[in-house]
Structure 1
């Protein structure tokens, strides 16, 4: 059957790591799939894209003035500062908290974005409420299944996803992951991590070595091993990863913040265009439908994948 990537399916042109991995692994870039988009508010389309870029420009100016251009510049400024992260990584520089990392990248502007919503941040930056409701909110809904009450920094970075130049890997972005595992000759253990505990090993005539004992559950039962470094790439809530951190000093606190679940459903069939006010399916040319914040709507977005 056919394979479809429903999450993390596009890559930003400033993602230098992915560019490097694709080149090193000898993978190819897939040609972008162009489809027209529209924004639906539950009653009508407040914006419909045209196949003519000149007409789109006029539509954007008519509906939102210079807000789209200003947003592009605003997001570009944030990304330019965020790009400093590559310099820190090049020199193996690490930070003890997200706040310190973001402050090093963008100063008080970045840390302020952590403590306000994207709605508040963009209103403060002078964007119109109409533009936020009809352009920014649909972008948040398609990315996160949430509105403009999400944190400002998350929202600002996700707006990079509406810029041009997005790309993907031919055959699927998953080929980068499998290719890196293979080239690194990494041992993949299919199991569930149960607990992590720091251990100290004393070497004869040398300084003590700090290690981590990882206990995990496999099809063979409970087992474990010791590691120099442990990197956790999983949601740290009890209902998600459910990892117990034993005997850490200071203790690692419980991660109580709940995660928002976003569901992607792949459906084989034809779109009922009359739902969107188009009685003639032949007259409907949109391949992506975004939505504004409307409690009556039961979808966040729709997109044709093949």
Structure 2
């Protein structure tokens, strides 16, 4: 610890002696990326590729305020067992996620199917009863027959609607739609704004999907994937919620794909480093030759260290983290277009291990009845849809999943690993009810309360417990304008795409898009220098319109 702190002090003593006029500038194009999540690592990875293809020399410097890579792709280890990694967020991706899947193949990462219990009985619960159940061992004609018997042609229509919407979205990956300086313009060209401008409920109704199927099945998907009822999520994200066919994850954690991207980019990486401000070098203004200086400070140390200028002037800066959580000051006219602040969902993710199965009595089932291993939730027919924590309804949670059997290292007995998504912190009373066993207030029996006994042997109701709170994704209100990636003359922003679609893949897509924009602009400047001996600004598009604010983000009441 002391040697690390000494190194930090030495580094920042050096930067303290560097003034604005002394910042290193050796002619090589310098790009700063702030954030090592999906968007930031994809930006660095693709920028290195595009620069090499164009014959450009680019130095990439990435700043990450934590000590890890992957952003919201986060894992933990039950019982501190390294072979039992379990995802907390961004748990799955699918083969149609071209960027993520292709990267796993390039980096030789091992894939597997997502966690699930052996017999995997799925139930959708509305707080009073199960409106639908499905067994993974009979995915074929029997489950299809149940769906069509109860919901008619709605399942078939929905499948076609999902396929059509996603096929349209996939055009963003290729010319002439890629790259894009205006996300709003591209979505208008692809005729997707009419879908993002409607609630999920409206979009489904307009396409003659029955209200019963929407409430029972589709809403269960929007709740487990985006913690939202259909009246508080737009149509495109509703379709994305249903696109989980062929789901997979990376053995050891999905974060590894972004770690490999960062390694392959050859970027200089500063972990535990907070960027405090972005300013023009020497107080110059925006323009083709603008250069930026960043102030940084360590986020993990045993002593207070003042924020100092990083000793390199950057030609381009990419902010690859939600601006409202970044704690960065943009000085002067660095931001020429306001960054839209959008509300993020506060999601409680709780993992725990227990020898007890889910209790049938909690779900109003007869004693001895097999309880579903995975429980999704929806609203009852008489419940009013609400947003935020109140949106949980009578069910009170979004999902409970029995991920897999796991061996308790203390007892050497098999237990069950559970994962719960909820709008509020779980209580001992709730845990006691769903397990049918008294859970002490401490959640760990050896430290509080008498353990349950079975045949004279003490059993801990919960043997391992891990709660986590995520600002997991934006609340996807219907809207028809979206944040564009260029927010200053040389400043780019990745997180604007999240209010359109919030996934690992789409964040990586925006990173790839920004990398292409930067490479194209630097190549154009290089051509100008080569042909005329001095830089030549080549305007590719008309000036950007001002990004519109909250008045363009509609609530269901306004619609």
Same fold, judged at TM 0.5 (above): yes
State the alpha-carbon separation in 2 of the partners of residues 131 and 137 from structure 1.
Answer: 9
What is the aligned counterpart of 2:110 among 18, 21, 28? 28
Please list, as runs of the form range in 1=range in 2, the aligned pairs for 1:211-222 lying within 5 A after superposition: 211-219=291-299, 220-222=305-307
Q: 1:9 to 1:117 in 2, by over 3 A?
A: same
For the residue of structure 2 that corresponds to 1:69, the secondary structure is helix
Among residues 236, 244, 252, which one is paired with 2:337 in the alignment?
A: 252
How big is each residue's C-alpha offset from its partner over 1:217-255, in whole Å with a ceiling of 9 and x where there is no partner?
A: 314441343323322222222xx2232222226743253
Aligned to 1:288: 374
Which segment is superposed worse, 40-49 or 294-303? 294-303
- Asked if the contact 1:13/1:165 (under 8 Å) is kept, the reply is yes
- State which structure, 1 or 2, has the greater radius of gyration over its C-alpha atoms: 2
1:66 maps to which residue?
A: 153
Aligned: 1:99 with 2:197: no
Aligned residue among 247, 260, 282 for 1:179: 260
Match of 2:421 in 1: none
CA contact (8 A) 2:171 2:177 kept: no
Q: 2:274 aligns with which of 177, 192, 197?
A: 192
TM-superposed deviation, 1:23 = 1.4
State the shift of 1:40 in Å: 0.2
Following superposition, the deviation at residue 32 of structure 1 comes to: 4.4
Q: Distance in 1 between matches of 2:321 and 2:334?
A: 22
Q: Which residue of 1 aligns with 2:199?
A: 117
Residues 103-252 of structure 1: pairs in structure 2 closer than 5 A: 103-104=188-189, 106-107=190-191, 110-148=192-230, 149-161=232-244, 164-189=245-270, 190-199=272-281, 209-219=289-299, 220-225=305-310, 226-237=313-324, 240-248=325-333, 251-252=336-337
Shift of 1:67: 1.0
Instruction: Give 1:286 deviation, angstroms.
Output: 2.3
Q: From the superposition, tell whether residues 62 and 181 of structure 1 become closer, same or farther in structure 2 (CA, over 3 Å).
A: same
Rate the CA distance shift 1:143–1:195 in 2: closer, same or farther, 3 A.
same
Kept in 2: contact 1:195–1:216 (CA 8 A): yes
Compute the displacement of 1:171 (Å).
2.0
1:214 to partner: Cα distance: 2.5
CA distance in 1, matches of 2:169, 2:200: 17
- 2:122 is paired with a residue whose SS is strand
CA 1:179–1:293: 2 relative to 1, 3 Å: same
Ranges in structure 1 where 5+ consecutive residues have no aligned partner: none
Post-superposition Cα deviations, 1:62-120, rounded to whole Å, max 9, x if no partner, equal 111111111111111111111112213xx89433332112223x22xx01122211111
**Aligned to 1:153, what secondary structure does the other structure show?**
helix
SS in 2 for 1:68: helix
- Confirm or deny: 8 A CA contact 1:44 1:276 kept in the other structure: yes
TM-score (ref. length: structure 1)? 0.86
Quote how far apart the aligned CAs of 1:124 are. 0.6
> 1:276 aligned to 2:382?
no
CA distance in 2 between partners of 1:232 and 1:64 (Å): 46
Quote the residue 1:82 is aligned against.
Answer: 169
Is residue 44 of structure 1 aligned with residue 113 of structure 2? no
Change (3 A) 1:13 1:56: same
Distance in 2 (CA, whole Å) between partners of 1:67 and 1:201 is: 60
2:174 alignment partner, SS class: helix
- RMSD across aligned positions (CA): 2.5
**Partner residue of 1:14?**
96
For the 8 Å contact 2:177–2:186, the answer to whether it is kept is: no
How far did 1:198 drift?
4.1
Partner of 1:301: 399
